[in-house]
Amino acid sequence: MDPIVFAVLGTLLSLPTASQTVKGSDPVSIWHNDSSDTRLLLGPTARSLKRGEAYVDDVGIFFPSVQIGLSDRVSIGVGTPLVLPQTDVRPGDALWLTPKVQVFKRQKTQAALGLVHVAARGHHVGLAYGVATHGTPNAALTVGLGLAYPQVEGRRPVALVGAEKRVSPHVKLITENYLAVKYGDAFLSGGVRLIRRRRTVDLSWIKFPGMTVYPVPMVRLSFQVSGPDR
């Protein structure tokens, strides 16, 4: 795997662990829970939403979605693009569904199975995945493996390696990286999550396979609309 990935992971995991306590009387020092800890920058962690918990989410302004906890281990999300550049796709012409089931849970380790299913004008494609997360909401490593469907010639599994590290009351560092197992193509990303009560803002940069720099910025907004503070 790209040495940049290992360097970033090592840096993140070596930083001191944050605490979800008040560090003094100053309200700025309150450590709110990360309401988006069921995902990295784009892909999932193995953590699950609580029953009745829901949040609205928007990637790059044009890709809104909603995620709902059906139980403490089962959740589902749905979204539709507002605009797809260079196409005539309108809202509702394309939908993505993201069901996830947590199949294992211990204090510091969880595992989950899920789908990212896309339906657009009668065509259906998607990614089936398994993912495991070890650590706490403030410092954790996530690994996973996914396989695209329907079956096509030359399809290849994709491995995920991601990490997150809380470094201050309102800042978490995150890296999320994908490797095409057979061909070695790497999709790398890293960024920061700004955390407030029930809302987060992710600011990140993406390197697509074949690019030598990180020229693509991404912004993601999330707001928890129901359920307990986690």
Question: Which carries the bigger pLDDT value, residue 100 or residue 214?
Answer: 100
Q: Measured between alpha carbons, how far is 13 from 174 in angstroms, rounded to an integer?
A: 10
- Residue-range domains of the chain with CATH: 3-220 (2.40.160)
| pTM for the full predicted model | 0.84
Write b or e for each residue in 114-147: b if 16 or more Cβ atoms lie within 10 A of its Cβ, otherwise e.
Answer: bbbbbebeeeeebbebbbbbebebbbbbbebebe
In this predicted structure, what is the pLDDT of residue 185? 77
**What does the mean pLDDT of the chain come to?**
84
In this predicted structure, what is the pLDDT of residue 90? 77
Write b or e for each residue in 155-170: b if 16 or more Cβ atoms lie within 10 A of its Cβ, otherwise e.
Answer: eeebebbbbbbbbebb
Residue 27 phi, psi (nearest 5): -60, -25
Question: pLDDT tens for residues 166-208?
Answer: 999 999 999 999 998 766 678 889 999 999 999 999 999 988 7
Alpha-carbon separation of residue 4 from 102, 150, 212 (angstroms) = 30, 32, 12
In this predicted structure, what is the pLDDT of residue 230? 64
Q: Measured between alpha carbons, how far is 102 from 49 in angstroms, rounded to an integer?
A: 10
Residue 121 phi, psi (nearest 5): 50, 50
Going by their DSSP bridges, the two strands 94-97 and 74-79 should be labelled as antiparallel
Q: Measured between alpha carbons, how far is 198 from 177 in angstroms, rounded to an integer?
A: 26
pLDDT bin (cut points 50, 70, 90) of residue 155 is low
